[in-house]
Structure 1
Amino acid sequence: MSHNTISLNKQRQPLAHLESVWLFGYGSLIYKTDFAYLDTKPACIYGWQRRFWQGSHDHRGTPQAPGRVLTLIEAPGARCAGMAYQVTPDTFEHLDHREKNGYLRVFTPLHWLHEAGEAEGIVYLATPDNAAYLGPASDSEIAAHIASSAGPSGPNSEYVLKLAQALRAMNEHDEHVFAIERELLKLL
């Protein structure tokens, strides 16, 4: 699958018939909301965990030297906390461009963290069959890669550090993110 998934997402998931959609953010969408939204709530999804296994050719790296950003991998029993944003379908013009580097939209149940209830929402996933997928590596290898990467959105390290800070502000612990942060801080 190509790096650029904009047209594929529009084909696979037309949203114009909906008044609003919940979007689940588990990476930079937690701390960088550069889009309008109707409502926001802390939420989580089950059966998924964050991993720095996706390449970033357009934001935190370049085509010649991609950075590393998050995707989700299936993990039975896992819980991934993040932020949910209620948005109008036209917001996906911007979001599909922002998340175009190998990410596909998928519907999944969202569970609210601080109140009872759930809603169906969209999450962007980058699977191993996309051209930007980098796959697993050790914490120290991932941190070294991130420490040496930068792109139009800034240093790759900033992505990790801001996410770790945002997760702490939410009172959430993510061992993978914090392990990469620890290794990264040794290098910076």
Structure 2
Amino acid sequence: MTMLPAPHRDPATMLERALHEWGGRSDLWVFGYASLIWRPDFEFAERRDARVHGWHRALKMWSRINRGTPECPGLVFGMLSGGSCRGVVFRVEQAHVPQVMETLWQREMPLATYDPRWLTCHTPRGPVQALAFTLSRRSPSHTGELHEDEYRRIFLQARGRYGTTHDYAQATFEELRRQGIHDRALARLLALSGSKS
């Protein structure tokens, strides 16, 4: 496969902007829709089920570090515009926000691929504004439509610092199912690799 160009954006500048938008006057909410659900890796005070309207979860983002390499990119989930997405929100106490944001950025934004946005998340206890990592279809990291054979090849070959694309997709599917969320698109993709879903 031809080496894919990485986005040319500065993660530190984007972190500074997100912290400025948060403002420091209250606790922080973070929306998880994939691996953050089953491996948040940060301290939080509260967790709630949540739904976001106007965005959906899609395994359509090239991963050159976490689940692949520049030579053999893998895939991770992004939130693309349109539809709706069920996941969870985490509340981070105000005092812990700078450290948690630093941790989040190291994990989610090593190449500044995502577009961090503040989205309205509907929870059983009312709506909250939460930070979510979204993906633009104009990003060079958006895969566009991939053929089934390409998904099979990626599931078979792609591996990054956190493991394989396939294991990541399978773990996300299983955790979503535990949360009562059935992602039909993900089930169909995993079926291509022979995974039980």
Normalising by the residue count of structure 2, what TM-score does the alignment of the two structures yield? 0.84
- Is the CA contact 1:50–1:176 (under 8 Å) kept in the aligned structure 2? no
Does residue 83 (structure 1) correspond to residue 91 (structure 2)? The answer is no
The match for 1:7 among 5, 12, 17 is: 12
The RMSD of aligned alpha carbons is 2.1
- Partner Cα distance (1:65, 1:156) in 2: 11
Out of 159, 165, 176, which is 2:168 matched to?
159
Distance 1:138 1:116, change over 3 A: farther
Q: How many residues align?
A: 183
**In structure 2, how many angstroms separate the alpha carbons of the residues matched to 1:103 and 1:170?**
25
One-letter amino acid of the counterpart of residue 120, structure 2:
P
C-alpha distance in 2 between matches for 1:147 and 1:4: 30
Counterpart residue number, 2:24: 17
* Unmatched segments (≥5 aa) in structure 2: 1-5
Relative distance call for 1:3 and 1:51 in structure 2 (3 A) is farther
1:83 Cα deviation from its structure 2 partner: 1.4
Confirm whether residue 69 of structure 1 aligns to residue 68 of structure 2.
Answer: no
Question: Does the 8 Å contact 2:47/2:88 carry over to 1?
Answer: yes
Amino acid aligned to 1:97: Q
> Are the structure 2 counterparts of residues 181 and 121 from structure 1 closer, same or farther at C-alpha, using a change threshold of 3 Å?
same
Amino acid at match of 1:109: T
Deviations 1:66-115 (A, max 9, x none): 1011111112xx22111111124211111012111301210010011xx2
TM-score by length of 1: 0.88
Please report how far the alpha carbon of residue 143 of structure 1 lies from its aligned counterpart in structure 2 after TM superposition: 3.6
Secondary structure of the 2:193 match is helix
**Residues 43 and 83, structure 1, Cα contact 8 Å, conserved in 2:** yes
Deviation, 1:124, is 0.5
**Which residue of the other structure, out of 103, 109, 118, is the alignment partner of 2:127?**
118
Q: How does 1:133-172 map to 2 (within 5 A)?
A: 133-172=142-181
Alignment of 1:42-53 (within 5 A): 42-53=49-60
Identity %: 23
The aligned amino acid for 1:166 is E
Q: What secondary structure sits across from 1:34 in the alignment? A: coil
Q: Deviations over 1:15-62 (max 9, x none)?
A: 352332110011111111211111111111012111111011111001
Aligned to 2:120: 109
1:98 paired with 2:98, answer no
Secondary structure of 1:180's match? helix
Structure 1 runs (4+) greater than 6 angstroms displaced: none
Task: Pick closer, same or farther for the CA change 1:173–1:5 going to 2, 3 Å.
Answer: farther
Cα distance in 1 for residues equivalent to 2:10 and 2:39 = 21
Asked whether the equivalents of residues 57 and 66 of structure 1 are also in contact (C-alpha less than 8 Å), the reply is yes
Offset at residue 155 of structure 1 (A): 1.3
Gaps spanning 5+ residues in structure 1: where?
none
State the shift of 1:138 in Å.
3.5
